[in-house]
Amino acid sequence: FVKNSQIHDGIVDMDPIMHKHIAKVMRMKQGEKVIVTDESGQFFLATVFDLEGGRLILEKALDENNELDVDVTLVYGMPKGDKFEFVLQKATELGVTKIVPFLCARSLIKMDESKFMKKKPRYERIIQEASEQSHRNICPEVIAPIHLKELKDYLSEVNVVAYEESAKQGEVSAFHRALEKLTTSITIIVGPEGGFDESEITAMKDLGITPVGLGKRILRSESAPLYMLSVIGYEREL
């Protein structure tokens, strides 16, 4: 990803991180070919023509699109420990567009904006590496944690919240029905380890969000978003 690098007249002036990656991590040599992606998600075939000076020359645009045909926003009840990083990596592999950490009533961690900003470069690195390995055209965005009152700003054409009580009530097909209406964008909402409390589900219903079950088994909070993204991928691509 040529994210912070300058492109002019078909030449990429690599930013220091990309330069280090090409020269030291990939150990590329002068004249070797590499595929790069610009801000818009366009792939290019490029050649390393000035390894020391950190410059690539763009050879040709490549017609490759590996993105889902819908935008997927994952609003995720932030879990404890490194599970969040695991979900960032796996959700990126599965095609997520935006990840929104959600601080809920039963969240077990305290994460404010300044704590998040300290970790953001690490989160972005995890996402970038996963995007590269999965040949994504874009790098998903991770934004600062939100509370319930800000949720309305992250809603899409279709909005669903995974709620295990819905699964118990036989609402297993609600997710399937919601996906049938999907044409452009979807927001999927998953609770933290302790789940959502009823008042949060009521508030989400008032925002027009549909509670959906994910089958009879209770999934861990880090498994549920990956299950939902896999189902979306299956419905849209397979």
Please give the sequence-ordered ranges of beta strands (E in DSSP) within 38-82, or none if there are none: 43-50, 55-62, 71-77
Least distance CB 20 / ligand SAM (angstroms): 38
If binding means CB under 6 A, how many residues of this protein chain bind ligand SAM?
19
Q: Does 194 bind ligand SAM (CB under 6 A)?
A: yes
Q: Does 191 bind ligand SAM (CB under 6 A)?
A: yes
Q: Does 224 bind ligand SAM (CB under 6 A)?
A: yes
Least distance CB 84 / ligand SAM (angstroms): 13
Least distance CB 102 / ligand SAM (angstroms): 10
Stretch (H or E) spanning 179: helix 174-180
Q: Which is nearer to ligand SAM, 108 or 219 (CB)?
A: 219
Amino acid of residue 48: V
What are the structure tokens assigned to 137, written together?
């055209």
Q: Does 117 bind ligand SAM (CB under 6 A)?
A: no
Least distance CB 97 / ligand SAM (angstroms): 19
User: Judged by CB under 6 A, which stretch of 14-22, 57-65, 120-128, 159-167 contacts ligand SAM?
Assistant: 159-167
Residues 6+ apart with CB under 8 A from 91: 74, 99, 140, 225, 226, 229
Q: Order the strands of the 185-190 sheet from edge to edge.
A: 141-142, 98-102, 71-77, 185-190, 158-162, 210-212
Q: Given the structure tokens 């699964």, which residue do they identify?
A: 167
User: Judged by CB under 6 A, which stretch of 5-13, 52-60, 120-128, 157-165 contacts ligand SAM?
Assistant: 157-165
Q: Does 167 bind ligand SAM (CB under 6 A)?
A: yes
**Residue 185 to residue 170: CA distance in whole angstroms:** 25
Residues 6+ apart with CB under 8 A from 103: 77, 78, 111, 145, 146, 147
C-alpha 204 chain-centroid distance: 22
Site mask for ligand SAM (CB under 6 A), range 50-69, x = bound: --------------------
Q: Which is nearer to ligand SAM, 134 or 234 (CB)?
A: 234
Q: Which is nearer to ligand SAM, 2 or 226 (CB)?
A: 226
The site for ligand SAM (CB under 6 A) is made up of 162-164, 167, 190-191, 193-196, 213-215, 217-221, 224
